[in-house]
Structures are given as structure tokens and as C-alpha cells.
Amino acid sequence: RTPRRPPRTVREALQECYIAPRTSPFPIQIDQQHNLISQSPDAQDERDISDVTINIQSASWDFDSCQLRSASGHALMLHGDSKVCVSRSKLGGSGTREDAMALVAVTCADTSECALLDSVVELCGTGGVVVMHGAVAGLQQCAVERCNVAMHVADSAQVGLMDSSATGIKWGLIFVPE
């Protein structure tokens, strides 16, 4: 696999995310067992990841037809210069009870980039997608459902929403802190 050039804009991040044809009728199930999927061997990051289902530190991953769930934590967290593509997947909480809802479905920090295509972000107590620092996140043909806030955008982060919908949002579509 050849390394991808890091996208500079939301549109480029989405264009570099290839959706392969569905090859299996059974989606990969990744549950809320707080698995550490990828961590750079030279990482000195001391962030608390005890409530993170999937933590990706400066790596590239593609998820297709997955269930990325968390109860009271983060379903997917990106750090460093991670590049992640999520397509035809569901991210967020594992149920509607307060203790089954995720805190956040996707957190993009540092200079990470995340493209979500044809996916559902749902059941989040705080926010569906949190993008901060210099991170880039793009949602295309996605649905954000039953979250308090659909997106948190902070610092110099970039966010793009294209052909997407938000329903059951309690406090607002986009929150930008002072």
C-alpha cells in the first residue's frame, strides 16, 4: 500500500477516501471493550485513553461497514497526523440510556484528518464530532442523530458537511467555543 499525501482541505480528505465495493454481508463489529488499536511506538502522549474504544496515534486506517461504539466514552479518537476514512459505518453510543450513550463519537485532535462517508453518528451525550487544534474533518452523505450537539469546532480546525443531515439534536448543530 502506498502512503497517501496528507490532505490539506476537507474536500481533499473526502476525495482521498475510497469506498470499496461491499465484499461481505457481515460488518466488522468493534465493541466498547476500549481497545487500543494503534499507537505510534515513539509516542510520548500521556492523554487518558481509558474511555476510548479506538485510539489512533499518527497512523492511517480505513473502516468500512463497521460499528464503532462506546458507552460513556469516545468511540474513535485521532491524534498526531492520523489519516482515517470511515465509510458505511455507525459511530457513537451503544444505546439510548444515559449510561449507554457515548460522550463523543469522533474526536480529531492535533493535525489529524478524518473523512466520514455514508455513515451515521448517533447517541452522543456531548457531541457527535469534535474537531480541534489543526485537525480536518469532513462528513459527506452522513446522518448525525440524537446528540446534544452535532459538531464541536475549536482552534484552527476545519470542518465540512456535504449532503448530510442532523436530527434529534438538542442544543445545536455546531458549537464553537470562545
Q: Tell me: the pLDDT tens digits for 27-85?
A: 333 333 333 333 333 434 444 445 889 999 999 999 999 999 999 899 999 999 999 99
**For the chain, percent of residues with pLDDT exceeding 70:** 72
Q: Are 150 and 171 in contact (CB under 8 A)?
A: no
pLDDT band at 15 (very low <50, low <70, confident <90, very high): low
Per-residue pLDDT for 176 more than 50?
yes
pTM strictly above 0.85? no
Q: How confident is the model at residue 41, as a pLDDT?
A: 37
CB burial class (10 A; 0-12, 13-18, 19+) of residue 92?
Answer: buried
Q: Are 13 and 136 in contact (CB under 8 A)?
A: yes
